[in-house]
Structure formats: C-alpha cells, structure tokens
Amino acid sequence: MSLRPQTLPKQPTTPFERIGGREPVAGLVMRFYDLMDRDPAFAELRAIHGPDLGEMKEKLTDFLVAWMGGPRDWFDKNPGACIMSAHAAMKGIDTQTADQWMACMERAAEDIAATDPDLATSMLTSMRSMGRTMARRAGQPSESYAGKL
C-alpha cells in the first residue's frame, strides 16, 4: 500500500516549529533570566544587565523566535541591526560573562534537552559559538552597526 502525500503527518520544517512555537521559547527565556537573577553563579552576568529584566525577556524571546525560523518581529523592530555587532558595543562582555551566559542557557534548556536532545544540542552549539565570537569581538563595534540597538 502506498501512502499518498496528504496522508503523511506534517514534519516540522524549522527549529521554531519543532520546539512548538513561541510559548516554549518564551518559557526558555523566562527560566534563563530568572536563573540569572537569583543564582550567584551568574552574578557578573546579571550585573551587566539593567535592573529590570522584564523588557529583556520580551526582546530575547522575539529574537530567538526569529532566529529559529518563526515570525521576524525582532528584525522588523530593529531594521538593519546585527546581534553580533550590537554585543560588540556592549560593556562587560568577556570570557567570564560569556561562559556564565552559556552555563545559564544550558540550565534553562534542561527540559528541552530531555525531550528533544538533538534540537537542544544544535541550538546550544550555535549559541556557544556566537557567545565565543561576541567575547572575542567585545569592545570592537563595527562603525556601521554601533548604536543601532
């Protein structure tokens, strides 16, 4: 018996679909900033953020949704912005805060790693590589992007 295409279950085509849409991404970001806020292991990372993390929860969720192939609200709100160059212009990004960022994100993603290890691994591997590059380029914003966020 042959399966006609319309009888096959739809396969998720983007990491955004695979994770299950915006809500799980918002949950990841919520855990990330809550951990950063209360665990002294992330004190130096917390210190370089503003006092209220509420706005950051919204911004990082918007960014990750777009980065994973979902709606591109973050890019619409920040035309021409580059996340790597934006971080190069930020104060306090170095190997210590980059390592804390990654350790915090790994903890926040523990439940995703338990349910979909491949997705968690690919997401965390890309983030780790971005974080390392951010730490390397810290303090060297490119003129065309500096100050766009």
Residues that bind ligand HEM (CB under 6 A): 45, 48-50, 56, 59-60, 63, 78, 83, 86-87, 90, 93, 97-98, 101, 127, 130-131, 134-135, 149
Q: Toward ligand HEM, which CB reaches closer, 95 or 115?
A: 95
Taken as a whole, the chain contains a residue count of 149
Which among 133, 72, 55 is positioned nearest to 98, based on CA atoms? Answer: 133
CB of 31 to ligand HEM, least distance (A): 15
DSSP letter at 85?
A: H
How many Å apart are CA 11 and CA 121, to the nearest integer? 19
CB of 87 to ligand HEM, least distance (A): 6
Q: Toward ligand HEM, which CB reaches closer, 115 or 125?
A: 125
Q: Toward ligand HEM, which CB reaches closer, 7 or 107?
A: 107
Q: Taking a C-beta distance cutoff of 8 angstroms, is the pair 65, 27 a contact?
A: no
CB of 94 to ligand HEM, least distance (A): 8
